[in-house]
Amino acid sequence: MFGQKRTGQTSPIIDSIQVQGLQFIAEDKVFNILSSQVHTHLSPSSVQEDIHALFQLGLFKDIQVLTKKKSVPNHIDLIFKLKENKRIAQIKFKGISIVSKKTLEDSIKLKQYSILQPNSITAAIRTFQQIYESKGLLQTHITYEIKDINETSVALTFIIKETTKNFITKFNITGTKFYYPIDIERSLQSAKIDCLSWMNSSGIYQTQKINQDLQIIAQLYLKKGFIKVHVDKPEITLIESDLKQWNAMHINLHITEGEQYYTGNVNIVSDDDNELLFGISDQIKKLALQQGNVFNPFLLQQDRAYLTQLYGNQGFAFARITPQTRINKETRQVNVTYHITRGEKAYIERIEIAGNNETQDQVIRRELDIHDSELFSQNKLLSSKENLQQLGFFTAGTGVQVIRSQSHTNVPNHLNYKVLVEEAKTGSFNGGLSYSGLNGIAINGTITKKNLFGTGKTINLSFELYQRGQSHYNFTLTTPYWLGTLFTQTSNIYSSIESYTDYDIQNYGFQFGFYYPIWKHITLGNTYGWNHEKYSDISARGKQEIEDKYRTISQMLSTSLVYSTVDNPMFPSSGLEVRFNVSQYGNWLGGDLNFQELTTSTQYFYPLNKSHSVVVRLSGSAKQLLKVGAKEPISTYRRFYLGGPTTIRGFDWDDIAGPANEAENDGFDISNKYPYQGDYTSCITADCLSLPATLPEDRKYYVQHRNGITQLLLNAELLFPLTRQGNMLKGVAFYDAGNVWSENKMYEIVGKTKKLGYLRASSGMGIRVITPMGVLHFDYGIKIHKRKTESPSRFDFSIASLF
């Protein structure tokens, strides 16, 4: 290509670089990779590098480099003559049945009209192998063939020989003394095939999971002081099925435990000229590793993080904590010394936001406790991450990362931080279908959009439609950091039609409120509401209850105090929430109603494992209605009742409603105890005329005081995964208990004793299916100590949040 230049002759100068032979590939792609440049001397080594780089692209099957002399002496044109690889005009698959063609096509970058590149084909085959392995077809054989269609295009065919599926049916774990083999097996990610394999892929052998299982086993032993544990490479025994439908796999794992080691002396020393920020003896007592305990290297790292945080909270972001261990084989002890190098105090120079395609920067920044140009603080860094997670806008667990980055000004003790977020789906639709003996079939739904247009606002539209005429519509808008302040503002408008046995009520109104964080995790709120209600389709008993008040207007002012450390509003797994609320209706506010409602509630979430997949939820609430200087009774429909999927499962919506409830009063009929002439269409007999002409006061009281004025509700739930593969299917075990109580006189009328310690209860099991549109709830509750007239159990289905 190039001749040997004579001694003393300089290399020719390149006047131009030309590319010939391109049909489908853009010239820019070639020029961007060339090291040879115009107006420079020709370099054979540079040309060789260019040829190698072009071949590395995998786009060309032949490359020639020519030079063309110019009229100016010692000047040339450099010409790259290229021959492109053929294009893939067709991509075909042979032999597929278990995996669809679309699944294979969508999994690879290789597409129709791509340039034929061996590397791309090899990468595609690796991807196909992974897909088949994930389905248990480990021995699937994949090859390919290429056939010319014309001079510029080919047909690529992947030939796939699918094999019988392989499922893990047995683990043989040997060499264990400290643990039982079954305990180790239960900790593995890989699992034997079970009856839900069609849904959760249990039993499928995956190399990646097996490798992770080896690490899990090692970690189990390391935590118990077996620092020299060794897990052999697993041996696999394949047992072919006589029916050829699937093969059984036995996984053989051998473990060499070694000796168990304990923690020896623990010390903390400074490796620079600076004094420690704390007393050594005091801090050693606070470390997780303590002398005499089993040596756990994970606790060693926990202590390292603890000491790093101590220094970080004082601004020493560059402090280095280096644990040094010395093993004494004779005493089976590990001595630990933490070496600390303080470094300089660090300052935050700049905070950057990344990953927020929808969420506005200001929505994220206002939740941060760290700010530009301030002293570094490890605690503020952690609380900033916690604040962002609690918004519920980002993926739970890994959706918020705060990463240190290099200072732009290169000042040694200045830091930049990048807040990297992964946005979650913040829109949801929840719906449900239920049945009530009183109102028939009910359809309900809720459309929620959090982080509306990336502003942090939340809108909520809900509805309930009943077979027998009831309906509820509700729209709520929540605006955090209202007008740039720390206030959160909520606005709510609603309309409803309630159908009762003795009358219908049409409601409409609005509420708006303001909430302010008075302390960390503590919020104070006030809400004002206005409501108009109208009664219609009123029965004779209904007229007795409402006393000819067919239309009422009420005003309400509610004050609430909330303490919450719940980690995530969508999928909570840890934390405590406590609420106190006082609502005043009427009185100095005006309106036709006059009473108070007092409410206190709490819920506690506690994870039982490190992955937070097993969670206990304990909750309770108590409510009380009080008349304040008013003679009129509190309306029946404003009083309390329990039952249904949101309160006490296994009961219908209003099964638990105080002494006037049929199940509670054992068939008591108020008209039999307190009859009057109005019970008869025509009162002409002597027996009828002997009855009171007007409604007896006790009967009137009974009619106007149905349902309860005191309520207690207790719930306990255990949420756990039903499979080891993923967290989309969960099981629930629950226990619900509660009751409502009326005024003492109601019990006297019915002839019952008021027992404040008496609770109606149920227990049962349920399933949670997590889907993009919401969490599907399937619950079966069984009544405990059911009444004679009650059904023994009830099944409920709804779509709602996780708890």
Number of neighbouring beta carbons within 10 Å of residue 540? 10
Task: List C-alpha distances in Å: 729 to 425, 646, 720, 767, 778.
Answer: 19, 20, 9, 7, 11
- Give which of 628, 626, 608 is closest to 617, Cα–Cα: 608
What residue has token string 């539209």?
A: 461
- Give which of 400, 446, 449, 447 is closest to 426, Cα–Cα: 449
**pLDDT tens-digit readout, 26-43:** 888 888 888 888 888 888
When pLDDT is cut at 50, 70 and 90, the band that residue 676 belongs to is confident
Q: Which residues touch 237 (CB under 8 Å, ≥6 apart)?
A: 249, 250, 252
Q: What percent of the chain has pLDDT over 90?
A: 33
d(CA 234, CA 207): 10
What residue has token string 């509820």?
A: 472
**pLDDT tens-digit readout, 245-263:** 777 889 999 999 999 999 9
Q: Is the pLDDT reported for residue 755 higher than 60?
A: yes
Q: Taking a C-beta distance cutoff of 8 angstroms, is the pair 348, 372 a contact?
A: yes
Q: Taking a C-beta distance cutoff of 8 angstroms, is the pair 93, 157 a contact?
A: yes
Number of neighbouring beta carbons within 10 Å of residue 160? 24
Task: Give the three-state DSSP class for 623.
Answer: strand
Paired with 792 in beta bridges are: none
Please indicate whether residue 543 or residue 27 has the higher confidence score (pLDDT): 27
When pLDDT is cut at 50, 70 and 90, the band that residue 478 belongs to is very high
Instruction: Give the pLDDT of residue 3.
Output: 46
DSSP conformation letters of 693-719: SS--HHHHHHHHT-SBSEEEEEEEEEE
User: What number is the average pLDDT over the span 162-167?
Assistant: 81
Q: Which residues touch 154 (CB under 8 Å, ≥6 apart)?
A: 86, 87, 88, 89, 116, 146, 147, 148
Q: Taking a C-beta distance cutoff of 8 angstroms, is the pair 41, 2 a contact?
A: no
When pLDDT is cut at 50, 70 and 90, the band that residue 332 belongs to is very high
Q: Can you say how many angstroms the Cα of residue 453 is from the centroid of all Cα atoms in its chain?
A: 21
d(CA 724, CA 720): 10
Instruction: Give the pLDDT of residue 243.
Output: 58
Instruction: Give the pLDDT of residue 195.
Output: 65
Q: Is the pLDDT reported for residue 6 higher than 50?
A: no
Q: Is the pLDDT reported for residue 616 higher than 70?
A: yes
Task: List C-alpha distances in Å: 301 to 307, 402, 484, 501.
Answer: 10, 20, 42, 66
**What are the backbone dihedrals phi and psi of residue 17, each rounded to the nearest 5 degrees, phi first?**
-120, 125
Q: Which residues touch 676 (CB under 8 Å, ≥6 apart)?
A: 691, 692, 693, 694, 695, 696, 699
When pLDDT is cut at 50, 70 and 90, the band that residue 650 belongs to is very high
DSSP state of 355: S
Instruction: Give the pLDDT of residue 4.
Output: 44
Instruction: Give the pLDDT of residue 464.
Output: 80
Instruction: Give the pLDDT of residue 28.
Output: 83
d(CA 473, CA 455): 25
Identify which of 55-69, 380-394, 423-437, 751-765 has the greatest average pLDDT: 751-765
Q: Taking a C-beta distance cutoff of 8 angstroms, is the pair 262, 293 a contact?
A: yes
Beta strand pairing call for 13-20 and 60-69: unpaired
Instruction: Give the pLDDT of residue 7.
Output: 45
Q: 3-class secondary structure for 24-40?
A: CCCHHHHHCCCCCCCCC
Instruction: Give the pLDDT of residue 465.
Output: 82
User: What number is the average pLDDT over the span 357-376?
Assistant: 89
**pLDDT tens-digit readout, 520-529:** 889 999 999 9
Q: Is the pLDDT reported for residue 585 higher than 70?
A: yes
Please indicate whether residue 138 or residue 454 has the higher confidence score (pLDDT): 454
What rounded mean pLDDT belongs to the chain? 86
The number of residues in the chain equals: 803
Please indicate whether residue 84 or residue 225 has the higher confidence score (pLDDT): 225
Q: Taking a C-beta distance cutoff of 8 angstroms, is the pair 467, 456 a contact?
A: no
Please indicate whether residue 311 or residue 632 has the higher confidence score (pLDDT): 311
Q: Which two tokens stand for residue 735?
A: 């226990």
Instruction: Give the pLDDT of residue 586.
Output: 85
Instruction: Give the pLDDT of residue 220.
Output: 93
Q: Taking a C-beta distance cutoff of 8 angstroms, is the pair 300, 335 a contact?
A: no
Task: List C-alpha distances in Å: 787 to 261, 439, 748, 795.
Answer: 60, 22, 21, 18
What residue has token string 């005043």?
A: 584
- pTM exceeds 0.75: no
**pLDDT tens-digit readout, 497-531:** 877 667 778 889 999 999 999 988 899 999 999 99
**What are the backbone dihedrals phi and psi of residue 125, each rounded to the nearest 5 degrees, phi first?**
-65, -40
**What are the backbone dihedrals phi and psi of residue 96, each rounded to the nearest 5 degrees, phi first?**
-90, 140
Instruction: Give the pLDDT of residue 432.
Output: 64
Q: Is the pLDDT reported for residue 307 higher than 50?
A: yes
Number of neighbouring beta carbons within 10 Å of residue 95? 12
Sheet of 262-270, strand order: 262-270, 333-341, 320-328
Please indicate whether residue 3 or residue 332 has the higher confidence score (pLDDT): 332
d(CA 93, CA 101): 7
When pLDDT is cut at 50, 70 and 90, the band that residue 436 belongs to is low
- 508-514 own/partner pairs: CB under 8 Å, 24+ apart: 508/532, 511/556, 513/489, 513/558, 514/482, 514/487, 514/488, 514/489, 514/490
- Give which of 100, 72, 219 is closest to 160, Cα–Cα: 100
**pLDDT tens-digit readout, 208-222:** 888 889 999 999 999
**pLDDT tens-digit readout, 707-742:** 999 999 999 999 998 876 556 789 999 999 999 999
